[in-house]
């Protein structure tokens, strides 16, 4: 495909008077997996919320999915354009089975989309048969919830997959399983932005590029060796080298705290 899967230019965003993202520039080509790393409060969660259209955020700049700017579009439009997020904490949906959910997705996709064939292949690859008649994510372990997210992603075949700390709360076997699924999804038709705080999942997923976010900006980009440098030095040392003060959280975790004062 021509052009990048995801192209973010000059993205600024915040909550009320609190500015969180301060000019993010990031490009993820089709066929590549990019890792976005950063300490707590760096702006990673805000970036996810803004890309997916959480309404309480104000934003300027551009965020293009397959060439179309999604800022200002409703969430369902963004999804139809090919934007998908796998959540750090997948929500439970009591009373709605996974099969019901996938049926709704299939109806929205249309009969000529090939959804049914992709879903059948994903069921077989991930062993999802026993989960289809269960309520979405209800009573599942952390690893099972993440597997369900990957299953939905593989069935939907988006242009851009944002994987928000999908290794969070998983044991090492589950991390390996999720990482293997990410590697299996590599495709010339998909760009993946893997957001993580720790480098452990990158022992099993080899990113094409690693980006470091601090204080609401991308401050460094490089190859997989950048993750190894972060592992060895830590974020504080990198921040000190760049003259960045990490004492004040920039992300919406900090915003929630300030709003409660």
- CATH code at position 198: 3.40.50.300
In a domain, 215, yes or no: yes
Question: What residue numbers bound the domain in which 43 lies?
Answer: 6-94+158-259
Residue at 148 is within a domain: no
Q: What's the rounded mean pLDDT across residues 1-14?
A: 91
Q: What angle, 0 to 180 degrees and rounded to 10, lies between the N-to-C axes of helices 98-109 and 115-126?
A: 150
Q: Specify if 117 maps to a domain.
A: no
The whole-number pLDDT of residue 108 equals 80
pLDDT at res. 107? 86
Where would I find the beta strands (DSSP E) of 29-74?
33-37, 58-65, 68-69
Confidence grade of residue 255 (pLDDT, cut at 50, 70, 90)? very low
Q: Is residue 247 part of a domain?
A: yes
Domain assignment present for residue 25? The answer is yes
Tell me, yes or no, whether 178 lies in a domain: yes
Asked whether residue 132 is domain-assigned, the answer is: no
Span 178-227, pLDDT tens digits: 888 889 889 999 999 999 887 888 989 999 999 999 999 999 999 999 99
Contacts by 100-107, CB closer than 8 A, 24 or more apart:
101/136, 101/152, 102/132, 102/152, 102/155, 105/152, 105/155, 105/156
pTM: 0.89
Say if 106 falls within a structural domain: no
Task: Provide the domain count of the chain.
Answer: 1
């Amino acid at each position: 495909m021509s052009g990048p899967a995801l192209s973010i230019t000059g993205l600024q965003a915040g909550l009320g008077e609190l500015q969180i993202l301060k000019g993010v520039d990031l490009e993820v080509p089709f066929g590549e997996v990019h890792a976005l790393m950063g300490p707590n409060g760096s702006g990673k969660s805000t970036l996810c919320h803004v890309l997916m259209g959480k309404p309480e955020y104000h934003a300027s700049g551009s965020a293009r999915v397959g060439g179309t700017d999604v800022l200002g579009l409703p969430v369902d439009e963004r999804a139809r354009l090919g934007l998908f997020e796998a959540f750090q904490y997948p929500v439970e949906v009591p009373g709605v089975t996974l099969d019901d959910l996938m049926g709704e997705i299939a109806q929205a996709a249309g009969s000529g989309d090939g959804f049914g064939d992709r879903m059948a292949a994903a069921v077989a690859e991930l062993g999802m048969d026993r989960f289809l008649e269960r309520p979405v994510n209800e009573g599942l372990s952390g690893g099972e919830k993440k597997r369900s997210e990957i299953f939905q992603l593989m069935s939907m075949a988006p242009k851009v997959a944002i994987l928000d700390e999908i290794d969070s709360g998983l044991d090492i076997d589950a991390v390996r399983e999720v990482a293997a699924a990410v590697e299996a999804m590599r495709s010339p038709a998909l760009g993946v932005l893997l957001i993580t705080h720790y480098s452990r999942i990158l022992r099993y997923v080899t990113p094409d590029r690693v980006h470091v976010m601090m204080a609401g900006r991308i401050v460094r980009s490089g190859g997989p060796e950048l993750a190894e440098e972060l592992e060895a030095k830590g974020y504080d040392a990198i921040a000190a080298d760049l003259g960045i003060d990490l004492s004040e959280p920039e992300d919406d975790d900090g915003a929630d705290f300030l709003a409660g004062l």
